[in-house]
A and B are shown apart, each in its own frame.
Chain A
Amino acid sequence: MKKKSNLPLAGVKIIEFTTSWVGPGGGGLLAEMGADIIKMENPHVPDYWRRTVKAYQETGSVNRSGIFAINNRGKRSCALDLKLPENCEITLRLIQQSDVLITNFAPRVMDNLGMGYSVLKELKPDLIMIAASGYGATGPDREAVAFGVCLEPYSGLSSLIGYPGSPPMPAGTTLSDLAGQVLVAYTTLVALHHRRVTGEGQYIDISEVENLITCMPEAILEYTMNKRVPHGQGNRDEMMVPHGTYRCKGEDKWIAISVRDNTEWQAMCKVMNKPELADDDRFQDGFVRRKNQDELDKIINAWTQRQDNIDLMRKLQKAGVAAGPVYSGEEIYKDPHLNARKFFVEHIHPEVGAKVLPGPYARLSATPWKVPGPDPLFGQHTEEILKELAEGKK
């Protein structure tokens, strides 16, 4: 069917029972590594992200979603109604031919389909099954309805986002899913390694809440070590001052600046053309700068708001100070560095045409990851997959 591939996961077969982000996103990363992925879809309920975009509201088509595209490029879509026993039988045969099964449905869903891990491992003892859910497959809250956005508040993260004194706030994207999708890909690779060494498959239970908490140790330890309950502190940092986003010239333009030490601070004062600030009693070392942050931020804002944020990044970086513009989605696509690295990749989609989207985040020198083509139309490969199965093709 395809020429011999140099991709890292060439030959690895994955079957997905997924929707929206954490499952499809994990599979999407593994697809860039070269895994052959069949995405099972319910003919009556297309992937949630096929439906949550303007194009769907306007045209009724489930094939025009950009948010779906990023997660599902290069997969084959197989739409089968699993209420029909013959389709279940087909599906079980597809699972039997797979190395890995990824699901992010609520824990009970696969069980109800008769495709729980205990059943599947009889069918294929070395199957790797990755089950990602909001709260995990066990425990009293396992059945709570877990939309990604619920998991930041539950994990405590929302209470740590915000301006001093503000109520809990949502992050700019659903961080539990963002992190969870990486863990889906990571645990798949670990389980493949485990299988190579021992011959064993296994079930992996991912709680997105728990994964998120593993990324906030400083908040947890603030409490377990010193019994303080932390809350949102804006962009302030315990060690770096100044540290924040500062207003620049133009509508909603900002620059992020992180100053690590006194050398960088002195360099920044020079760029500001205010060398006297470096000797100012209020700002001369990290300790006093932290004490006088409000005043310091006012001075910096007064300076940055007359400047272009891109020029400012260049000036500060040239002087050895970590700085970068706060980018909108549009600005990211136009960034010269990302374009010089040919980060964005075009694919041609049968319904929406040519689209440019982010490519792999990692560059492997010998076996590069690559964007495996457009996202599938809904049920596009059902026939092809059934035919392969009938022909006994592996």
Chain B
Amino acid sequence: MGTLALKDVRVIEYGEKICVPYCAKMLADLGAEVIKIEKPVEGDMSRRRGPFAEDLPGKERSGFFIYLNSNKLGVTLNLEKATGQDIFRKLIKDADILIEDTMPGTMGKLGIGYRQLKTINHKLVMTSVTPFGQTGPYKKFKGSDLIGFEMGGIGFCTPRWAGTTEQEPLRVMQMADFFTAMAAATAAMSALHVQRERGIGQHVDVSQLQAMVRLNPQNMYYWPYEGTSETRASQSAFAPQQFIRCKDGWCYVHAEEPHHWQRFVAMMGNPEWANIDFFQKSTGRAEHWDSLKPLIEEWSLQHTKMEIFEMAKGKIPIAPSNTVDELMTSRQLEERRFFVEVDHPVAGKYTYPGAPAKFARSEWSIRSPAPRLGQHNEEIYCKRLGYSKEELVKLAEVGII
């Protein structure tokens, strides 16, 4: 095991669902100390989101929540009350990074906006992650993963190459929220770099809409450069770059370039139809895809997707369309020890996705499962901030923690 790269970084998290929690998880899994603040009693709304262990809903049973909040210390705190705000200021005093997702203006009204916090801690990197950013006409508009994905331009083209706009644009899982979280972690780290090099803090304004647009050159270059926009009806001018059926499911074949196509034809045993004139060029194959596809499938339906993948390995960009259960038996993921087991005192022991990257020297690890609601109240409030246990009981009674 290497060094926990971010072990000297202290983070306060105040946010729900994915954007802020996953952002903080990325830091926590590399060693940052993250104190997660949740609303008393109800907690982060993703505690109420499945999948739940054994399908039994419960605040401490959501796999989704447990995944997003590994390695964090959990406290409850009501920031809408003055005493809660005082405690919050004490926590901020020696924090490096605050990550939060409240609607612009909210923190300021509570007396804990960036302007107020920087007087307590001028090195603070306050990272605000919101649907539309801190300024502008939509700053108070509500967002969601779906809205980020759809307004951000990917949804309009999803599913890609459908050939029609008859059916509605789709989202993809909760990718807009996860990508925003990654973008926010990156922005926070760039400001932390400045803090460590030059000793200054700052406010980092991350807009989900801007992240989705900026990170998507594939759809965003058309308008300024070609005066058009991609839609779901857009067809690829080249083929094959499509899904084809196989014995046990689907394969994605990307064999449009001449050398890939030749190798693919050889792999199929050089069928006679491959000599047909209009199949010689990538554009011709795209134009005649409807007649080409069944010819390819005559071959592919005799093989499993893994057989085809193995045959193509190192030669042609082809991939099996795996289902989730198949990932669990993937030799590649197994050999790289991608999945990890996390034992949670209430939910039990299950397999979770592991590290997004393999660092040779920095340790990535799950050192503790997600905190139970308020699990570290005593550790943080008593041991660190000096409140007595009696005071803690009172704070709980009046709904501060």
Q: Are A205 and B225 in contact (CB under 8 A)?
A: no
Q: Is B206 an interface residue (CB 8 A)?
A: yes
Q: Are A254 and B168 in contact (CB-based, < 8 A)?
A: yes
Interface residues of A in 161-217 (CB under 8 A from B): 161-163, 167-175, 178-179, 181-183, 185-187, 189-194, 196-198, 200-207, 209-211, 213-217
B179-218 vs A, Cβ < 8 Å mask (1 yes, 0 no): 1001111110111111010001111111101110111111
Stretch at the interface among B315-323, B378-386, B392-400: B315-323
* In contact, B151 and A327 (Cβ under 8 angstroms): yes
Stretch of B33-41, B79-87, B266-274, B326-334 at the chain-chain interface: B326-334
Hey, what's the 0/1 contact readout for B128-170 against A, CB within 8 Å counting as 1? Answer: 0000111111100111111101111111111111100101111
Q: In the complex the two chains form, is A218's CB within 8 Å of B165's CB?
A: no
Q: Which of B50, B219, B231, B324 contacts A173 (CB 8 A)?
A: B219
Closest Cβ–Cβ distance, residue B27 to chain A (whole Å): 9
For chain B residues 11-58, which have a beta carbon within 8 Å of chain A? 26, 30, 45, 48-55
Is the CB–CB distance between B53 and A225 below 8 Å? yes
Q: Which of A53, A167, A201 contacts B243 (CB 8 A)?
A: A167
Is A119 part of the contact surface with B, judged by Cβ < 8 Å?
Answer: no
- Whether A67 pairs with B217 at a CB distance below 8 angstroms is yes
Min CB distance A32 to B, Å, is: 9
Given A210-B336, A355-B225, A362-B204, A217:B220 Cβ within 8 A: no
Q: Provide the residues of chain B in CB contact with A171, threshold 8 Å.
A: 154, 158-160, 172, 175
Contact bitstring B250-265, A, C-beta under 8 A = 1, else 0: 1110100000100000
Most buried by B among A155, A205, A239, A364: A364
For residue B289, CB closer than 8 A to chain A, the reply is no
Q: Which of B5, B50, B350 gathers most chain A CB within 10 Å?
A: B5
| Cross-chain contact A366 with B314 (CB below 8 angstroms) | no
Q: What residues of chain B lie closer than 8 Å to A252, measured between beta carbons?
A: 156, 165, 231, 233
- Check if B375 is an interface residue, CB within 8 A of chain A: no
B-chain residues with CB within 8 Å of residue A232 when the two chains form the complex: 170
B390 contacts the other chain (CB 8 A): no
A196–B3 alpha-carbon span in the complex (Å): 13
Considering residues B157, B228, B324, which has the most beta carbons from chain A within 10 angstroms of its beta carbon?
B324
B186 is contacted by which of A67, A182, A220, A245 (Cβ under 8 Å)?
A182
Which of A77-85, A276-284, A336-344, A379-387 lies at the interface? A336-344
Indicate if the CB atoms of A219 and B314 lie closer than 8 Å.
no
- Does A369 touch B at the CB level, under 8 Å? yes
CA distance in complex: A198, B360 (Å) = 14
Is A235 part of the contact surface with B, judged by Cβ < 8 Å?
yes
| Contact residue among A144, A210, A234 (Cβ-Cβ distance under 8 Å from B354) | A210
B317 touches A138 (CB 8 A): no
A254 to B169, CA, bound (A): 8
A59 to chain B, nearest CB (A): 12
Check: B299 CB closer than 8 A to any chain A CB. Answer: no
Bound Cα distance from A157 to B174, whole angstroms: 11
How far, in angstroms, from A162 to B3 measured CA to CA in the complex? 42
Chain B residues within 8 Å of A112, by CB? none
Query: In the complex, A64→B228 CA distance in Å?
Result: 16
Determine which of B55, B114, B324 lies in contact with A156 in the assembled complex, contact meaning CB atoms within 8 Å: B324
| A258: interface (CB < 8 Å) | yes
Q: Which residue of A lies closest to B162 (CB)?
A: A169
Given the interface contacts A168-B250, A220-B352, does A145 sit within 8 Å of B55 by beta carbon? no
Q: Choose from B147, B201, B338, B361 the contact partner of A200 (Cβ within 8 Å).
A: B361
CA–CA, A323 to B141, complex, Å? Answer: 8
B151 touches A204 (CB 8 A): no
Contact for B214 among A69, A356, A360, CB less than 8 A: A360
Q: Is A295 an interface residue (CB 8 A)?
A: no
Q: Name the interface residues of B260-301: CB closer than 8 Å to any CB of A.
A: 260
Q: In the assembled complex, which residues on chain B have CB atoms less than 8 Å from the CB atom of A143?
A: 313-314
* Alpha-carbon gap, A181 to B254, bound state (A): 21
Q: Roughly how many angstroms separate A191 CA and B159 CA in the complex, as a whole number?
A: 36
CB of A170 within 8 A of CB of B160, answer: yes
- Is the CB–CB distance between B168 and A157 below 8 Å? no
A376 at the interface (CB under 8 A from B): no
B221 and A361 within 8 A (CB) = no
State the interface size on chain B (CB cutoff 8 A): 150
Nearest-neighbour CB distance to chain A for B210, whole angstroms, equals 4
* A154-B322, A256-B146 known; A363-B134 Cβ under 8 A: yes
- Cβ contact of B160, chosen from A70, A169, A331, cutoff 8 A: A169
B170 near A161 with CB under 8 A, answer: yes
Residue contact A158 to B173, C-beta cutoff 8 Å: no
Name the B residues within 8 Å of A144 (CB-CB): 309, 312-314, 319
When the two chains form their complex, are residues A8 and B193 in contact, meaning their CB atoms are under 8 A apart?
Answer: yes
Determine the residue in chain B with the shortest Cβ distance to A231. Answer: B323
Given A155-B322, A156-B323, A217-B68: A330 in contact with B229 (beta carbons within 8 A): yes
- Option from B9, B49, B179 in Cβ contact (under 8 Å) with A215: B179
A190 touches B169 (CB 8 A): no
User: A244 at interface (Cβ–Cβ under 8 A)?
Assistant: yes
Return chain A residues, CB-CB under 8 Å to B228: 330
Q: Say which residue of A178, A224, A238, A369 sits within 8 Å of B352 (CB atoms).
A: A224
> Quick one: closest B residue to A203, CB to CB?
B360
CB distance from B5 to the nearest CB of A (A): 4
A298 shortest CB reach to chain B, Å = 13
| A219 surroundings in chain B (CB, below 8 A) | 173, 324
Q: How far is the CB of B103 from chain A (nearest CB, A)?
A: 11
Inter-subunit contact B183/A362 (CB<8 Å): yes
CB of A389 within 8 Å of the partner chain: no
| B256–chain A nearest beta-carbon distance, Å | 10
Q: Which of A39-47, A90-98, A314-322 contacts B (4 or more CB under 8 A)?
A: A314-322
Closest to B207 in A: A361
Q: With A144-B314, A173-B157, A247-B168 in contact, is A139–B190 under 8 Å at CB?
A: no
> What residues of chain A lie closer than 8 Å to B355, measured between beta carbons?
210, 214
CB-based contact A135/B332 at 8 Å: yes
- Cβ A258 vs Cβ B326 within 8 A: no
Of all chain A residues, which has the CB nearest B358? A205
Asked if B94 lies at the interface with its beta carbon under 8 angstroms from chain A, I say no
Which B residues contact A (CB, under 8 angstroms)? Answer: 2-3, 5-6, 8-9, 26, 30, 45, 48-55, 63-64, 67-68, 114, 132-138, 141-147, 149-162, 165, 167-175, 178-179, 182-187, 189-194, 196, 200-207, 209-211, 213-226, 228-233, 241, 243, 250-252, 254, 260, 309, 312-328, 331-333, 335-336, 338, 350-362
Listed A/B pairs (23) with beta-carbon separation below 8 Å: A8-B194, A168-B243, A168-B250, A173-B219, A175-B154, A178-B216, A186-B189, A190-B30, A200-B3, A202-B361, A203-B360, A235-B146, A237-B146, A254-B150, A256-B146, A325-B150, A327-B150, A329-B219, A333-B224, A341-B207, A352-B225, A365-B114, A366-B200
Q: Which 4 A-B pairs have the closest CB atoms?
A: A172-B157, A66-B221, A66-B225, A221-B63
